[in-house]
Chain A
């Protein structure tokens, strides 16, 4: 990768390089166990585990802080065993998740050790001596180490764990304690306990003596129920079975990754049995390097095989894989080796001894024991890596090729190579994948879509002449036309303007209307927004002072008489006034006919009468028609006469002069319930003498009997008739006698009514004085006779 430039970290374990061709990118993918970068809250930055800051904690205590790693480690500066070390994930530097340690007890050879943490001496760039302990911070984890010297009689180290935002779980299959955050995400694990050297690697024992590494150290975790736990390391079951080196170490090994690399060891005296076994004898996920792995051979007493496993998380990558090389640094050896697909889950275990499949991705006939061994993947390997890109992890198994992979007995020879694992401090010997991807870039091109949209009415030249003509000939009402204009959102003004320019008759109407005080705009607006009927329209026009004749005539631009216009209207027709007016346009209808027809319409008779009054209409025609052929509401007519502006004298005069039969009038008055008083009163108001009325009656050959009967039936006061003439008195005698006789006869029927009270009570002297009493008195006494 010397010809490429690192452009940044894609994740904690992947660094990206750009080539000259930006579509081709190369990545170095470490195992998750072996991070390259940490997250500083904004971006990924390279791990710098050796940086130590002399600073303060949030509560003001002095601490030594290593925070340029995926987990920050703070060591309290004071001589205080309580929470003397604290760990926080890089993405939780706010303390919402942290693991803190208090030193509870240290025993060596059965004797408690004095806990004095006042001494803090840097032993190396990553190790600090703290009293009796050594704290070592690495990329992969943190170790709290207790050095042992001649501790043949045993040891004990107890640490109190303070967990914030996390929980702990024992993984029995691994004999490890794993710590998760409250969302179940892995944070830390306490690795399987070993007796280790200062480098942290488990002390190696001759495989002939301990093919499975002796279990010299055990660990336990006690839940105190108060959110703290006591983690204790002490002698394991094999302690005492071996002679310890003069100087060794036990540690609390806090590992930051759940994923491990390492190797699985197995042995058997029968090659085939060994080779084909499903489970190994032991597993090692702690060592930073191994002498003799991968290996296959005879160790002098049995066949042994060591198979190495690596895991690379590629979930943050994307693109098309074009090249993959797996790089594994040689520790020693020069035999053959190959890599192939593996699938061992998260943490390597003995059961993963055979967790590989398929043909090899690549092989080396000669292992390089001091440099990187590059395995360039074949198409199978590339496809497998591509399957993991953007998805998850790619795992590989490194095996001895000539005997293990090919399943050829090694005889009595040992074929072994040595390699470095992710646990090795520093990055020089990291196993990793070098992946080349071609990255497709999405480009877009755009174009705009649009259109011009027009309304049909804007460009079409509609002939309003034709439209109106069609309206007329189709007997469509103008109301309907106006309504149509309104719903079609056509401005009636525009319509009328068009009519005007179109030279049709209606332009005259428009001109006339505009010449009046009536605002045509207002009228049109009303027509548009409401359901103004043409009747109302005509009314408005009339109120504005436009003569109806003129109005109707105007469309024709001729002085046609309204009579002539109305002549065309069919008598008794039930046509609408609209239609009538339309008809008027084309004919010579007389107003009589108009009135007849109007009587059946909803036209106000007031308006009609006003029209009659102002027009030159023959009233006889009106009355004649009303009485002869029409169902006109004459009572309404008379009521209007009485209460409105029509002069009764005009009516009567017209009636008399025109020799209208008054009988007919009176007869109608009776049947209509009109008060004759009203008629007579009206006559008085009009200055008509009774003579004139009587004369009229005589001239009209009216039977007085009939008149009187009518008057009585109508509740007319006879006084009005009696005052001027003896003729009237005679009439009074006749009129008065008949009801009185009737009353006498009635009294006979009341003979049985003898109550003196009635006699006593009928004594009104006032009546006697007025000369009426004798009559009444005689009549009252009659029953007593």
Chain B
């Protein structure tokens, strides 16, 4: 029986909500609620940033042997449109409050593809075994959306963030 691994949107190092097959909405507020409140407002000039989002894999059901090679990636092509960007980086296992100032470091999410993914277990390294059941595994990753003043308004078309792992 394959393991069940979930994608959690984190509110603390070891606290989060399952967003597997769900939606992670970038907002002008630090919460995980997917609603119309606190939208990102296109600035008159320059760029604004959303509050950061932190994600981490969660082992809901154990593997037969182990889980390894956690990695995150996109399809490599942003459908968000002009002026919208998403930056991503690996935080290791160090928690920090979410913020809306521009993220330092990080890389373009859409530069992370299945062939060149963001490493997801560099600090909290695998393999993750059945004993890790019901716990968070791998590293935190942090994402942030930026909105440039030339962006268009509306609800953005969803983009897919993928967590991949090997299981034996």
User: Interface residues, chain A, CB within 8 Å of chain B?
Assistant: 21, 23, 320, 438-456, 458-459
Please give the distance in Å from A20's CB to the nearest CB on chain B: 11
Distance in Å from the Cβ of A444 to the closest Cβ of chain B?
5
Expressed in whole angstroms, the Cα–Cα distance for A453 and B143 within the complex equals 17
Neighbouring B residues of A442 by C-beta, 8 Å: 69, 164-167
Instruction: Tell me if B166 and A440 are in contact (CB < 8 A).
Output: yes
| A454 CA to B27 CA, complexed, in Å | 11
B156 touches A451 (CB 8 A): yes
Contact segment of B38-46, B95-103, B128-136: B38-46
For B5, list chain A residues within 8 Å (CB): 443, 445
**Distance in Å: Cβ of B17 to nearest Cβ of chain A:** 11
**Are A451 and B167 in touch, CB under 8 angstroms?**
no
CB-based contact A448/B159 at 8 Å: yes
Q: Does B118 contact A (CB under 8 A)?
A: no
A448 in contact with B44 given A441-B167, A453-B39, A453-B154 (CB within 8 Å): no
A439 to B64, CA, bound (A): 12
Question: Judging by beta carbons under 8 Å apart, are A453 and B153 in contact?
Answer: yes
Instruction: Decide if A446 touches B161 in the complex (CB within 8 Å).
Output: yes
A449 and B22 CA atoms in complex are apart in Å by: 9
Distance (Å) between the CB of B100 and the closest chain A CB? Answer: 13
Chain B contacts with A in 77-123, Cβ cutoff 8 A? 80, 84, 86, 109
Contact residues of B between 36 and 80, Cβ < 8 Å to A = 36, 39-44, 50, 55, 57, 64-65, 68-69, 80
Rounded to whole angstroms, the CA-CA distance of A445 and B60 in the bound complex is 13
A450 touches B158 (CB 8 A): yes
Residue of B nearest to A319 (CB): B168
Q: How far is the CA of A430 from the CA of B86 in the complex (A)?
A: 59
Q: Which residue of A lies closest to B35 (CB)?
A: A452
Contact (Cβ within 8 A) A453 B168: no
Contact between chains at A23 and B65 (CB < 8 Å)? yes
Is the pair A443, B160 in contact by a Cβ cutoff of 8 Å? no
Q: Would you give the shortest CB distance from B93 to chain A, in whole angstroms?
A: 20
Please pick, from B40, B43, B44, the residue contacting A451 in the complex, using a CB distance under 8 A: B40
Mark B residues whose CB is within 8 Å of A.
Answer: 2-3, 5-7, 9, 19-27, 36, 39-44, 50, 55, 57, 64-65, 68-69, 80, 84, 86, 109, 143, 145, 147, 151-168
Asked whether, in the complex, the Cβ of B41 is within 8 Å of the Cβ of A450, the reply is no
| Residues in A neighbouring B69, C-beta threshold 8 A | 440, 442
Bound: A453/B42 CA distance, A: 7
- What is the CB-to-nearest-CB distance from A18 to chain B, in angstroms, rounded to a whole number? 15
Q: Closest residue to A445 on the B side, CB-wise?
A: B163
**Can you show 18 pairs from A to B with CB atoms below 8 A apart?**
A438-B168, A440-B166, A441-B166, A441-B168, A445-B163, A445-B164, A447-B21, A448-B159, A450-B156, A451-B80, A451-B145, A452-B25, A452-B36, A453-B152, A453-B156, A454-B39, A454-B41, A454-B153
Q: How far is the CB of A386 from chain B (nearest CB, A)?
A: 14
Known contacts A320-B168, A445-B7: A450-B21 contact under CB 8 Å: no
Q: Are B2 and A449 in contact (CB under 8 A)?
A: no
**In the bound complex, CA of A447 to CA of B5 (Å):** 12
9 tightest A-B CB contacts, nearest first? A452-B39, A448-B158, A451-B26, A440-B166, A440-B168, A455-B153, A447-B19, A454-B39, A448-B23
Contacting residues, chain A, for B152 (C-beta < 8 A) = 453
CB distance from A22 to the nearest CB of B (A): 9
Cα of A442 to Cα of B115 in the assembled complex, Å: 13
Interface of A is mostly: strand
Indicate which residue in B40, B64, B68, B166 contacts A452 across the interface (CB closer than 8 Å). Answer: B40
Query: CB-nearest residue of chain A relative to B20?
Result: A445
Q: A447-B24, A454-B41 are in contact. List 6 more A-B contacts (CB 8 A).
A: A440-B168, A446-B21, A447-B9, A449-B25, A449-B109, A455-B42
**Does B41 lie within 8 Å of A459, measured CB to CB?**
yes
Q: Which residue of A lies closest to B2 (CB)?
A: A443
B25 touches A451 (CB 8 A): yes
Among B9, B43, B84, B161, the one with the most A-chain Cβ atoms within 10 Å of its Cβ is B161
Interface pair B161/A453, CB less than 8 Å apart: no
B99 to chain A, nearest CB (A): 16
Partner of B25 from the list A450, A456, A459 (CB cut-off 8 Å) is A450
User: Once bound together, how far apart are the Cα atoms of A23 and B167, in whole Å?
Assistant: 9
A443 CB contacts on chain B under 8 angstroms: 2-3, 5, 164-167
Q: A440-B68, A440-B168 are in contact. Are A449 and B153 (CB under 8 A)?
A: no
Q: Is the CB of B167 within 8 A of A440?
A: yes
Measured in the bound complex, the distance between the Cα atoms of B168 and A450 in whole Å is 33
Report chain A residues within 8 Å CB of B6: 445
A438, A449, A453: the one contacting B40 at CB < 8 Å is A453
Given contacts A450-B155, A450-B157, contact A438 B65 (CB under 8 A): yes
B118 CB to closest chain A CB, in angstroms?
A: 14
A23 in complex: contacting residue of B19, B153, B164, B168, CB < 8 Å: B168
C-alpha gap A23/B42 in the complex (Å): 50
| A448 in contact with B64 (CB, 8 Å) | no
Q: Would you call A448 and B165 a contact (CB within 8 A)? A: no
Chain B nearest Cβ from A313, distance in angstroms: 24
Q: Specify which chain B residues have a CB less than 8 angstroms from the CB of A438 in the assembled complex.
A: 65, 168
CB of B164 within 8 A of CB of A449, answer no
Query: Would A444 and B163 count as touching, CB distance under 8 A?
Result: yes
With contact pairs A438-B65, A454-B153, A456-B42 given, residues A446 and B26 touching in the complex (Cβ less than 8 Å): no
Residue of chain A at shortest CB distance from B55: A447
How many angstroms from the CA of A108 to the CA of B53 in the assembled complex? 89
* Min C-beta distance of A489 to chain B, whole Å: 11
Return chain A residues, CB-CB under 8 Å to B20: 445-447
Known: A446-B21, A450-B157. A456 touches B147 (CB 8 A): no
A453 contacts across to B, CB distance below 8 A = 39-42, 84, 147, 151-156
Chain B: CB-nearest residue to A460: B41
Q: Complex formed: what's the CA distance from A447 to B42 in Å?
A: 25
Cα A451 to Cα B38 with chains together (Å): 10
| B residues in contact with A445, CB < 8 Å | 5-7, 20-21, 57, 162-164
Evaluate contact between A455 and B165: CB separation under 8 angstroms: no
> In the bound complex, how far is the Cα of B68 from the Cα of A441, in angstroms?
10
Interchain CB contact under 8 A, B160 and A449: yes
Closest to A444 in B: B164
Q: When the two chains form their complex, are residues B41 and A455 in contact, meaning their CB atoms are under 8 A apart?
A: yes
In the complex, which residue of chain B has the Cβ closest to the Cβ of A23? B168
Of all chain A residues, which has the CB nearest B7? A447
Chain A nearest CB from B112 CB (Å) reads: 12
How far does the alpha carbon of A648 sit from the alpha carbon of B168 in the complex, in Å?
107
**B164 / chain A contacts, CB cutoff of 8 Å:** 442-445
Please give, as numbers and ranges, the residues of chain A lying within 8 Å of B9 by CB-CB distance: 447
Instruction: Find out whether the CB atom of B64 lies under 8 angstroms from the CB atom of A23.
Output: yes
**A320–B69 Cα gap in the complex (Å)?**
14
Beta-carbon contact of A450 and B26 below 8 Å: yes
Q: Determine the residue in chain B with the shortest Cβ distance to A451.
A: B26
Residues of A within 8 A of B42 (CB): 453-456
B163→A446 contact, CB < 8 A = yes
CB B144 to nearest CB in A, in angstroms, measures 11
Which residues in A have their C-beta under 8 angstroms from that of B2?
Answer: 441, 443
Judging by beta carbons under 8 Å apart, are B22 and A458 in contact? no
A449 touching B86, Cβ below 8 Å: yes
CA distance A459 to B80 in the complex (A): 22
Residues of A within 8 A of B80 (CB): 451
Min C-beta distance of B161 to chain A, whole Å: 5
Contacts of B21 in A (CB 8 A): 445-447
Contact residues in A for B57 (Cβ distance below 8 Å): 445
Nearest opposing residue in chain B for A439, CB measure: B168
Q: A458 is contacted by which of B65, B151, B153 (Cβ under 8 Å)?
A: B153
